[in-house]
Structure 1
Amino acid sequence: MMKILITGFDPFNNEKINPSWEAVKQLPDKLKDIEIIKLQLPTEFKKSTEVLFENIKNISPDFVLCIGQAGGRYDFSIERVAINIDDARIPDNSGFQPIDNTIFEDGKTAYFSSLPIKGILKTINENNIPGSISNTAGTFVCNHIMYSLLYYIEKNNLNTKGGFIHIPYIREQVLNKKSTPFMELSTVVEALKLTILAINNYKKDIKLIGGLEF
């Protein structure tokens, strides 16, 4: 049975919830012949990496999919690349605020997702869920964990594949934030289920228009 480790973050920046974990925890423990292992990560640069690495070591998943909140985005944003920099606009939940810090001195400048990002995009779009390929995961904890994940996989010569997806706010987070985009939690959960199935179905990624002209 294929095993996928899927993570979400705890709330940060004065939010009461984090939609990434709200969605992840609603996923079933099994989807077809796929075992789904759910993990909440702290929104902290150092600790999130420690928790993730420990769980990968103990679980030995075939795939790791990390989910994070991107307030202000409109759709299901499938990240293509993570860069080797921490540059925090706000402190993390431990109070740590790195500025222009290298994540791993022996790491590459950037790592690309090893998930079938275009296959995922095609699958969710065919099910009428808005999605896009994103070429920046930011420089906060989301980029940090995506980069760290792919670094760990390479340095330990694992057969595991990994990647990251950003999701918008959910409805209850924007009740007092006029004109702020959101996605229904039920839609996010469905998109994650479709993503897991796409990861299992696409052994190789496909070529699909998803680039930007600027």
Structure 2
Amino acid sequence: MKILVSGFDPFGGEKVNPAYEAVKLLPDNIAGAEIVKLEIPTVFYKAADVIELKVKEIDPDVILCIGQAGGRYGVTPERVAINVDDARIPDNEDNQPIDLKIKEDGPAAYFSLLPVKAMVLKMREANVPASVSNSAGTFVCNHIMYQILYMIDKKYPDKIGGFIHCPFIPEQVINKPNQPSMHLEGISKGLQAGIEAIVERQGKGDIKEIGGAIH
């Protein structure tokens, strides 16, 4: 099994993005699966182009993207991506799409193809705060999750994919009062546990576990 794990570069004035920094700490083999790491730009559409080039090059079984979600308290596998770009801030090339469809011929939403509840359970068993997220936002993170699932739907039906958000790391919140953070090692530990769950649940689907949210 081969898993492509990508993480975004810094954006929004930050000097670091814990997403790719945590990806870099992952071992090259997790539960028997080969891990291929890739940094992608925080740029609408370009990020998807970079991923698809890598997919064509290495032919992974799983496409997993990691992104930063400042304000969250734990590692959060995303359940759904919606077909809209509505950028609160510009991306790293000053694109700021507002109320635009990502794909004109795409459905309103795609659900993750990953076992998100099994991933959360595995993360918690590793003592990493984690929960299922039901909104990936409307910035480049949601965009790339939607693009990956569209890509799989249209071109690579033998693959699975999805997205995980991670919190700020401590150095990012020094001047952000009351913002939660998690050490980079903890984030990477959570990602590793989530990947272990992906490997373990291969071909079995997800588990049925409480993971909903009131809001």
The TM-score with structure 1 as length reference comes to 0.97
- Report how far residue 125 of structure 1 moved: 1.2
Q: Does 1:211 align with 2:212?
A: yes
- Report how far residue 32 of structure 1 moved: 3.7
Q: Does 1:108 align with 2:80?
A: no
- Alpha-carbon separation, structure 2, partners of 1:124 and 1:31: 14
- More moved, 146-155 vs 167-176: 167-176
- Report how far residue 175 of structure 1 moved: 1.6
- Structure 2, unaligned runs of 5 or more: none
- Alpha-carbon separation, structure 1, partners of 2:35 and 2:164: 16
- Report how far residue 213 of structure 1 moved: 2.6
- Which secondary structure state, in structure 2, belongs to the residue aligned with residue 40 of structure 1? strand
Matches of residues 5-44 of structure 1 in structure 2 within 5 Å?
Answer: 5-44=4-43
* Corresponding position of 2:197: 198
- Which secondary structure state, in structure 2, belongs to the residue aligned with residue 94 of structure 1? coil
Give the aligned length: 213
The code of the aligned residue for 1:178 comes to: P
Matches of residues 156-171 of structure 1 in structure 2 within 5 Å?
Answer: 156-171=155-170
- Report how far residue 64 of structure 1 moved: 1.0
- More moved, 168-177 vs 9-18: 168-177
Matches of residues 1-214 of structure 1 in structure 2 within 5 Å?
Answer: 2-203=1-202, 204-214=205-215
- Report how far residue 157 of structure 1 moved: 3.9
Moved over 4 A (4+): none
- Structure 1, unaligned runs of 5 or more: none
Question: Percent of counterpart pairs with the same letter?
Answer: 55
- Report how far residue 34 of structure 1 moved: 1.0
- Which secondary structure state, in structure 1, belongs to the residue aligned with residue 88 of structure 2? coil
- Alpha-carbon separation, structure 2, partners of 1:45 and 1:86: 9
